[in-house]
Amino acid sequence: MHKDLEEIILHEAEIEQRVKELGDAIAKDYKCQEPLLICILRGAVIFFADLCRAIDIPVQMGFVSLSSYKDGTSSTGNVEERQKLMADVKGKAVILVEDIIDTGLTLKDYSQNLLDRGAESVEICCLLKKPEQVHNVDVQYQGFDIENRFVVGYGLDYAEQYRNLPYVGILKKEIYS
Ligand code: PRP
């Protein structure tokens, strides 16, 4: 385990198994369509890469960079589009792929944005969900519920560190306070 972590809450094998189940569920639900999977950079990148390979039907891929946290540990309340989505969403069955829902702001804001741009449907696939959302979002595909602690790894960062850890763990308080 990385020295800055208090404990690992999701090990590689557990994540792998759950991602496979999510991939199977998406393949079953979208077997007559070719969904556009949109990766919300940067946190979702690792999950997205694994999830795409667990879906056994044709999919399209899109990438957008959204951020509300800057380098801190709590939401700023504003979603900033750092890099725009290049894919055309008009008439598409979109699945937004996200690493974590905390306040729900990012997904609430961006799903509506895509519907306004003509997406036929927008569903959400999220690896982790914290317990208390300020903004209610319907999550179609969810990996795990987690406690309200600051987690890193498997794409999630603190000040751009720890994204490449293959597991999800709780960061020691002394690192960020
Ligand atoms: C994190 C995470 C989600 C969002 C979740 O992104 O990746 O996109 O916050 O929080 P919310 O539910 O309160 O909106 P962050 O802004 O840290 O950017 P990053 O993905 O580049 O790390």
Alpha-carbon torsion (140, 144, 136, 43), positive or negative: negative
pTM (2 d.p.): 0.93
Instruction: Give the mean pLDDT of the chain.
Output: 93
Q: How far is the CA of 69 from the centre of ligand 1 (A)?
A: 6
Question: Known catalytic residues?
Answer: 102
pLDDT for 19 equals 98
Listed by start position, the domains of the chain span: 13-151
- HSE-CB at 120 with a 13 A cutoff on CA atoms is 8
Task: State how far the Cα of 161 lies from the Cα of 112, in Å rounded to an integer.
Answer: 30
Q: How far is the CA of 6 from the centre of ligand 1 (A)?
A: 21
What is the tens place of the pLDDT at every residue in 31-67? 999 999 999 999 999 999 999 999 999 999 999 999 8
What is the tens place of the pLDDT at every residue in 130-142? 988 778 899 999 9
For 13-151, give the CATH class: alpha beta
